[in-house]
Amino acid sequence: MSGLGGLNKTPNGVVLGMVQLQLPNVVTPADLAAQTQRICDLVAKARRNLPTMDLVVFPEYSLHGLSMDTNPEIMCRLDGPEVEAFRQACCDHQIWGCFSIMEYNPNGNPYNSGLIIDDKGELKLYYRKLHPWVPVEPWEPGNLGIPVCEGPNGSTIALIICHDGMFPEMARECAYKGAEIMIRTAGYTAPIRHSWQITNQANAFCNLMVTASVCMCGTDGTFDSMGEGMIVNFDGTPLATGSHRPDEIITAEVRPDLVREARQHWSVENNIYQFGHRGYVAVKGGAQDCPYTYMQDLVNGSYRLPWEDEVIYTDGTSCGFPAPTREYQGEELPSEPAEIL
C-alpha cells in the first residue's frame, strides 16, 4: 500500500516525493542561478502539494542538465551558493530534500555528487557517483564509498546515482550498511526504460529494501529524458510509477518498519542474510566464505574478464573526450559532512 500516495500517513510511514523535473539547458552562471531558484521553487511546491511529505527527491542533472559541460564557472562546491540555497529551502519549508550537483574538483574532472539535506537545513548525506555512465560521462569516479544516513521518522537511507543502479553490488552495499530506503536519481533517456524498471524492482527484492527512483523529464531541445519515477516496495512490487509529464511529483508512503520486520522474520528469500550464510540448514550458521572469484580478484587488484582484450570501448574518445592520462588516486577525504563543511 502507498497510503493513497501518502495522503493517509501512518505513524511509522515515510512519505516520498519524486520530482520528474523538466530537463534544463544550463550554459552560463546566470543559467545556473536561475535553475537553482527553480529547484527551490519546486521544494516549496512539494510542500504545498502534500503536507505529509517527508522527503522530496530531485533527479540527477536537475541543476546542470545533460550537456556534460565541465566548465569550472558552472561547477558547484559544498560551501557554494547553490547548496546554501537548497539548505535554506529545506529549512524554510520544513522538508527533507535530495539534490544533484556537479562538484568542482581541483585535482581532476568534476564529481557527480548527491546530497541529502534535512528539514533543519543540515547536510546529512554526501555521495559521489561511483560508476559514471561511461563512455558518455566525464565525471571523476567517486571516492567516498556508499554512505547511509538516518532519515525522516527513524528511517535509514542510502543514495546512489543513475548507472550505479545497474550494478547489483551497489544496492547490496546499501542494504549491507543498513539502508531501508535506497534513492536512485537519474537523467536516463527512453532507451534505458526496460533496464530501469527491472533493476529498480530487482534491487528492492534482492535486498528487502524500498527503492525510490526518478529521472529527469522532457526535452532540452537535444535530449529527451523519460521521467518515470518509481517507488518499489521491499518485495519488488511497484507502489507508484510516474509518467512522462515534466515536473510531476510521484508520491507514496513507505514503511521502513516493515522492511526491518521482513529482514528479521522472512526465512525463504531472505537473500540479504542468506548471501553470507549459505546453506544454513545443512551447516551451523551457513557457509560464510567468499566463493566469488570476481570479488577476490577485485580486492587484490587483479580483476580481469576472460574477454578483457576484446573490449572495444575503454575510454571516452568515442564521445569526444580525450583519452585520460592520470591514474586513479582515490584520494582520501573526510566522509562525515560536518567535517567537510
Q: How far apart are CA 115 and CA 56, in angstroms?
A: 12
Q: How far apart are CA 234 and CA 9, in angstroms?
A: 18
Give the strand pairing for 123-128 and 210-215.
unpaired
* 261 has catalytic annotation: no
Query: Is the distance from CB of 170 to CB of 186 less than 8 angstroms?
Result: no
* Residue of 40, 129, 149, 253 with catalytic role: 129
Q: Which of 76, 98, 149, 162 is catalytic?
A: 162
Q: Is 216 helix (H, G, I), strand (E, B) or coil?
A: coil
> Three-state secondary structure along 37-104?
HHHHHHHHHHHHHCCCCCEEECCCCCCCECCCCCCHHHCECCCCHHHHHHHHHHHHHCCEEEEEEEEC
CB 229 within 8 A of CB 18: yes
CB 115 within 8 A of CB 99: yes
Active site residue 82: no
The one catalytic residue among 9, 40, 60, 98 = 60
* CB burial readout 168-185, b (16+ within 10 A) else e: eebbbbbbbeebbbbbbb
100 burial level (CB within 10 Å; 0-12, 13-18, 19+): buried
271 by Cβ neighbours in 10 Å (0-12 / 13-18 / 19+) ranks as middle
259: nearest Cα among 185, 188, 198, 182 = 182
60 in catalytic set: yes
Active site residues: 60, 129, 162
